[in-house]
């Protein structure tokens, strides 16, 4: 499960690993995940417009954890996945979910119905793509302009009604 402050990998009802996303050094998080998921791949991103230099480690195809990015508070690890589940080093499958059980590939409808517009971004500039981001575990939601909010917490991104990624924590509706 991905929350705004914690990543909990579970297999059925058993917790396989837990990592605090706030205050845990990246090396410790990578070590814990490596014990469960096996050897990761690493990558370094250079700073650019709206991107701060970042080191990230990945398992599976697209499940990654890294140092803070431009949308993550300092001292907080960035986490994201575009996968429903990741294989463990001993062949088990760990499903990655929101706090209410949704995973990549599931419908976003229940989350869309559960939250108000102040924690959503419907990408109005690209209506034909049917994009939607929702912060489902809110840390803060400052109003940056009249009627315009910048929610921060664990979120999902969906396209055409289907969850495409789970990210925690991050800011949506950024100026970048």
What's the pLDDT tens digit per position in 113-151?
999 999 999 988 788 889 999 999 999 888 878 878 889
pLDDT, tens digit, for every residue of 52-106? Answer: 788 889 998 889 998 877 777 888 898 999 999 998 888 888 889 999 999 999 9
Lowest mean pLDDT among 14-28, 38-52, 106-120: 38-52
Query: How high is the pLDDT of residue 167?
Result: 93
**Partner residues linked to 120 by β-bridges:** 134
3-class DSSP assignment, residue 129: helix
Q: Are 118 and 80 in contact (CB under 8 A)?
A: no
Query: How high is the pLDDT of residue 175?
Result: 66
Residue 27 has pLDDT above 90, yes or no: yes
Tell me the C-alpha distance between 111 and 138, whole Å: 13
Looking at per-residue confidence, does 174 or 90 come out higher?
Answer: 90
Query: How high is the pLDDT of residue 99?
Result: 94
Average pLDDT over residues 33-57: 83
Phi-psi category of residue 173: left, alpha or beta, with phi > 0 → left and psi -120 to 50 → alpha: left
Query: How high is the pLDDT of residue 135?
Result: 94
């Amino acid at each position: 499960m991905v929350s705004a402050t914690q990543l909990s990998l579970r297999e059925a009802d058993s917790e396989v690993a837990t990592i605090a996303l706030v205050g845990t050094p990246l090396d410790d998080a990578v070590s814990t995940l490596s014990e469960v998921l096996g050897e990761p791949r690493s990558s370094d991103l250079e700073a650019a417009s709206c991107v701060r230099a970042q080191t990230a480690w990945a398992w599976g195809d697209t499940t990654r954890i890294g140092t803070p990015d431009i949308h993550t508070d300092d001292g907080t690890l960035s986490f994201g996945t575009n996968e429903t589940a990741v294989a463990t080093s001993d062949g088990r499958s760990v499903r990655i979910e929101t706090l209410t059980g949704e995973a990549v590939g599931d419908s976003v409808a229940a989350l869309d119905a559960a939250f108000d517009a102040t924690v959503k971004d419907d990408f109005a500039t690209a209506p034909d793509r049917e994009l939607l981001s929702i912060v489902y575990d809110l840390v803060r939601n400052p109003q940056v302009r009249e009627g315009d909010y910048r929610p921060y917490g664990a979120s999902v991104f969906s396209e055409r009604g289907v969850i495409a990624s789970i990210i925690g924590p991050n800011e949506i509706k950024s100026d970048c």
